[in-house]
Structure 1
Amino acid sequence: MAKTAELARDFHGQKLYQKRARAVLPILVRQAEVRQPVFYEALAQEVKMPNPRNLNYPLGCIGTTLNEIGEEWGSDVPPIEALVVNQTTRLPGPGFDGFLTEKGESWNNKEERKALIEQYWARIYSYPYWDDILKELHLKKTMDPAELIIAKARGSGGGEGPEHLALKLFVCANPQLVGLRAIDRTGKTEHCLPSGDIIDVIFDYSRRIHAVEVKPKSSPDSDLARGLFQCVKYRAVLHALARHEHDKRNITVCLALGGSLPARLVPLRNSLNIDVFENLSPSG
């Protein structure tokens, strides 16, 4: 019991990083359950942190606490903080390397580091005791604030109006708005998939396929939720098609919004691991 009391003092203290660690850990457990990493920026937004760089302290607290629980239980607890990744590299930042070296891990290049982290992700996803970890730390699982919105999203969407068409053409002509480079070739609209779905905009390059679902500013929250799930479907179909055609190109999917993503949908975006680009306007 002495060890548990020590954990409680460290993890349940009143310092800001400790409070943030308690907010972050249930979110990471949710991400582990859906088998998806989460970007530093996206996680910071969900816990209302203005600067994602400050996540290093809560994540370090989580890592230390899980190590101590593992020692108390006599079994290793995977480093769930590895699920927080950089939006560019899609891998944990260099701060995670200290944990790897403490575990005796080594690597010679970026490819070996990535392979090593993917092994840890597999352990995190398959670990069966995350609920027990939360109970040990007196934490509750995350609640979905978008449950009613998702229910409404089950209905059919509306047809394409002039606002949607204008935004679609604007995105098509400006790849830099959705995570690509301004010098990249413009995209194409209305790309048909074998599933019968139609992607609003697709950028088809020699090394990458980038699909974009577009939602205008006037879209209700239920339609934005529907757009997030559409991105999931496009991603799955594009990956299946690529496997069938032996296409080795990188496949990415995103949601482009004329307005902003409501705070209630941020957890859904994070759990589905969808990039969202906001406040895009043809009128500037």
Structure 2
Amino acid sequence: MGQTAETATGFQGDKLYQERARLALPILIRQAKAGQTISYEDLAAELGMPNPRNLNYPLGCIGDELNRLGTKWGKEIPHIQAMVVSKGTSVPGSGFDPFLKNRGKVWTTSEERKAILKTYIAEIANYPYWDDVLSELGLKPAASKIEDIIEAARSFGGGEGPEHKALKEFVRANPQCVGLPVGSAEGSSEVAIPSGDSIDVLFERHDRIVAVEVKPASAPIHDVARGLFQCVKYWAVLQARADFKGDSRQIAVLLALGGEMPTVLVPLRNSLGVAVMERVG
């Protein structure tokens, strides 16, 4: 997946890629402020695009407009398209390379390129004038219609029903359903962590720790939203414990859904950077 720097020009036109560019830029600014990259697939889903490969022109259009605006301001604006990454590598595709090279970035190995990109992504996240960019281009921050859902998630609670128990047991006994290799050891249920919470399922391997919050297909939307925030909390607690113990294993926390991710919660998932597995079991 790449971002085309050469052929996608113009930002205010009525071509489809220009309309998508104007929709995508506020989303990328939301991600930058949250310090979270977003995958090509997740951005395409949020834009209602069936094929993430078609993002190359909208992202190239954004890059071209940031170049123009930087020239007008007399100061470079970091290319926010770098926030869009491959799920496999966690960095942008090779189509972003012309933007890097135009900034004088050079590398000889893929590892050097990845290091440069990670530093550049941090620069994007720390850029203090994204609101000014939106204002200059006549755009509004990415809209959110989930405040009521988030508010409801604060007070939602309830016992564990049979569907939740069954899905939790399925995940515990089938590590491959959450991306672990076939043959991995089964997980543990209701594992207490220092914050006083209990994680639905925890897999401990020699190289990584994978925590899973489980929500059945019958879970109401505000409970799914609550699950996203729980994942953020669990990761922070597990990482703090690992830092204290000197445990260098990679930590991953994900949300396993018996049903599908509610479309209205996709922006929240993306801004929080939570991995979600759908239709599990």
Check whether TM > 0.5: yes
Match of 1:203, SS state, is strand
**Whole-angstrom distance in 2 between the partners of 1:74 and 1:47:** 31
1:251 aligns with 2:228: no
Large movers: runs of 4+ above 3 Å: none
**Whole-angstrom distance in 2 between the partners of 1:168 and 1:132:** 46
Match of 1:255, SS state, is strand
Match of 2:260, SS state, is coil
Measure how far apart 1:199 and its partner are. 0.8
Q: Is this contact kept in 2: 1:200–1:212, CA < 8 A?
A: yes
Residue in 1 that maps onto 2:5: none
Residue ranges of structure 2 left out of the alignment (5+ in a row): 1-8
**Whole-angstrom distance in 1 between the partners of 2:180 and 2:89:** 14
CA 1:183–1:63 in 2, change beyond 3 Å: closer, same or farther? farther
Which deviations, in whole Å up to 9, do the C-alpha atoms of 1:177-234 show, x marking residues without a partner? 2222223332221121111111111121111111110000110011000000000000
Residue in 2 that maps onto 1:273: 273
Residue ranges of structure 1 left out of the alignment (5+ in a row): 1-8
Residue in 2 that maps onto 1:199: 199
Residue in 2 that maps onto 1:126: 126
**Whole-angstrom distance in 1 between the partners of 2:177 and 2:146:** 27
**Whole-angstrom distance in 1 between the partners of 2:247 and 2:272:** 24
Number of equivalenced pairs: 273
The residue type equivalent to 2:25 in the other structure is L
Match of 2:199, SS state, is strand
The residue type equivalent to 1:268 in the other structure is L
Measure how far apart 1:64 and its partner are. 1.2
Residue in 2 that maps onto 1:73: 73
Residue in 1 that maps onto 2:241: 241
Q: Is this contact kept in 2: 1:145–1:265, CA < 8 A?
A: no
The residue type equivalent to 1:95 in the other structure is G
Residue in 1 that maps onto 2:4: none
**Whole-angstrom distance in 2 between the partners of 1:132 and 1:30:** 13
The residue type equivalent to 2:186 in the other structure is T
**Whole-angstrom distance in 2 between the partners of 1:176 and 1:20:** 36
Match of 2:159, SS state, is coil
Q: Is this contact kept in 1: 2:40–2:85, CA < 8 A?
A: yes
1:18 aligns with 2:18: yes
Residue in 2 that maps onto 1:4: none
Which deviations, in whole Å up to 9, do the C-alpha atoms of 1:39-97 show, x marking residues without a partner? 11111111100011111111111111111111111101011111111112211122112
Q: Is this contact kept in 2: 1:217–1:258, CA < 8 A?
A: yes
Please give the TM-score of this superposition, normalised by the length of structure 2.
Answer: 0.94
The residue type equivalent to 1:215 in the other structure is K
Q: Is this contact kept in 2: 1:84–1:91, CA < 8 A?
A: yes
Measure how far apart 1:155 and its partner are. 0.4
**Whole-angstrom distance in 2 between the partners of 1:210 and 1:261:** 20
**Whole-angstrom distance in 1 between the partners of 2:129 and 2:78:** 10
Which deviations, in whole Å up to 9, do the C-alpha atoms of 1:23-43 show, x marking residues without a partner? 100000101111111111111
The residue type equivalent to 1:224 in the other structure is V
Measure how far apart 1:98 and its partner are. 2.2
Residue in 2 that maps onto 1:114: 114
**Whole-angstrom distance in 2 between the partners of 1:225 and 1:69:** 37
Match of 2:155, SS state, is coil
Residue in 2 that maps onto 1:95: 95
Percentage of identical aligned residues? 58
Match of 1:23, SS state, is helix
Aligned pairs (5 A) from 1:80-229: 80-229=80-229
**Whole-angstrom distance in 2 between the partners of 1:136 and 1:119:** 26
**Whole-angstrom distance in 1 between the partners of 2:175 and 2:81:** 32
**Whole-angstrom distance in 2 between the partners of 1:60 and 1:178:** 34
Q: Is this contact kept in 2: 1:254–1:276, CA < 8 A?
A: yes
Q: Is this contact kept in 1: 2:28–2:83, CA < 8 A?
A: yes
Moved more, 256-265 or 103-112: 103-112
The residue type equivalent to 2:239 in the other structure is H
**Whole-angstrom distance in 2 between the partners of 1:62 and 1:269:** 23
**Whole-angstrom distance in 1 between the partners of 2:164 and 2:66:** 47
Please give the TM-score of this superposition, normalised by the length of structure 1.
Answer: 0.93
Measure how far apart 1:156 and its partner are. 3.8
